[in-house]
Amino acid sequence: MGKSVDTPDGKLDILKNISLDVKYQEAVVIKGASGSGKTTLLGLMAGLDQASSGDVFLFGENLTGKSEEQRSSIRAGRVGFVFQSFHLVQGANALQNVMLPLELAGIADAQQLAVTSLNQVGLENKTSTLVEHLSGGEQQRVAIARAFAVKPTVLFADEPTGNLDAATGRQIADLMFHLRDQSGTTLVLVTHEGELLERGDRQILIESGRLLSG
């Protein structure tokens, strides 16, 4: 599959002839330089965007030609996300942030599941703290708790330690892989950090929109 966008200077190919399989419970790390197309690839795999050519399958369903609404339904309750900038809802506390995807998916005991998930990331004492009052590392823990709360089949993480110091980044990486090991969640992770690269089952190198290894 491929992805291209129209620019004032003409058509720009961001991804070209990508062919990739991610197996169930596999941890795949996508690496590459800035602008290489790794975040675009992650978005296409998660169904956040549409490929310009070729097909993308998620849970056996072809995302090509599906509307945003249909792709949302495919993701619902099965996909988790962790972002570099955390993307928590400001003005809401940690518990409410973790409950958000559970309630969006219509899960009844959202609060209980959210509390459990926060316990798993070590934030049992911060459930009622507004997220803007948490440290960067704690905010990313809330984001991880939110991602794992729905018991996702696949977790997509985009530079999850990119905004954190080395020590905190290490803790977050440990936590994420620990939870992944516990739950057997498939992990697709975009990074350029050496330590995270080593932890994946498989590394995929992308350069100028082309898959060089993997």
Partner 1 sequence: MKLGRATIHSYWLMFVATVITVAIVTSSQLITDRISLLLDRQASELLAGDMVVISNREFDPDYRDAALQHGLQVSSSVSLRTAIFIDDDPQLVELKAVDSAYPLRGQLERASEVTGDRTVTREIPERGRVWVDTKLARLVGQSIDLGEARFDTSWLLTFEPDRGGAIFNLAPRVLMNIEDLEATGLVVPGSRVRYRLIFAGAQADLNRFKVWLTTNLKSGEEIQDLENARPEMREALQRTRKFFALAIVLTLIIAMAAIAITARYTANREASKVAMLRAFGISQASLFHYYLRQLGGLWLAATVTGIVLGWITQFPLEWILDGWFGKTMPQVQTLKPYFSASLVGLLALAGFSLPYLINATATPPMQVLRTAVNRRSWLRGMLITASAIIAVFAVLVLLMQSSMLAVATLALVLVCALILPLILGWMVKLLLFSSQRRFWLRQYLLSRLQASSRGAIYVMSGFSLVLIAILLIAVVKDELLGSWQQQLPDNIPNYFLINIRSDDIAEVGAYMRQHGIDSSTPYALARVRLSKINSIDVDKISFTDPRAGHLVRHNFNVTHARELPDQNEIVAGSWLDADNPRAQLSVEEGMANRLELKLGDVLTLTSGSKTLHAPVTSIRSVVWENFKPNFYLIANPELLADLPQTGLLSAYVDAENKIELKQLLKRFPSITLLDITELMARVRNIVDKASIALQFFFVFALASALIVLLAAIQTGRHEREIESSLLRALSAHTNQLYRVHVLEFTLMGALIGFFSAGLATVAGWAISVYFFKIDFHPSLTVWIYSLMSSSLVLTIAGTLVSRRVYNISPMKILRS
Q: Could you list the residues that contact partner 1 (CB under 8 A)? A: 39-40, 42-43, 46, 48-49, 68-69, 72-73, 75-77, 79, 81, 83, 85, 87, 89-92, 95-96, 99-101, 103-105, 110-111, 128, 132, 158
Nearer to partner 1, 79 or 121 (CB): 79
Residue 10, by phi and psi: left (phi above 0), alpha (psi -120 to 50) or beta? left
Cβ burial, residue 88 (10 Å; 0-12/13-18/19+)? buried
The nearest distance, CB 194 to partner 1, in angstroms, is 22
Taking the least distance from each CB to partner 1, the nearer of 29 and 46 is 46
What is the smallest separation between the CB atom of 32 and partner 1, expressed in angstroms? 14
From the CB of 140, what's the least distance to partner 1, in Å?
A: 14
Give the Å distances, CA to CA, from 74 to 21, 32, 44, 107: 18, 28, 13, 16
Query: Quick one: DSSP state of residue 61?
Result: E
> What does the alpha-carbon distance between residue 112 and residue 164 come to, in Å, rounded to a whole number?
29
Q: Give the nearer residue to partner 1 in terms of CB position, either 12 or 89.
A: 89
Q: Name the minimum Å distance from CB 39 to partner 1.
A: 5
Of 101 and 169, the one with the shorter C-beta distance to partner 1 is 101
Give CA 148 to chain center in angstroms.
11
* Nearer to partner 1 (CB atom), residue 94 or residue 175: 94
Asked if 15 contacts 45 with a C-beta cutoff of 8 angstroms, the reply is no
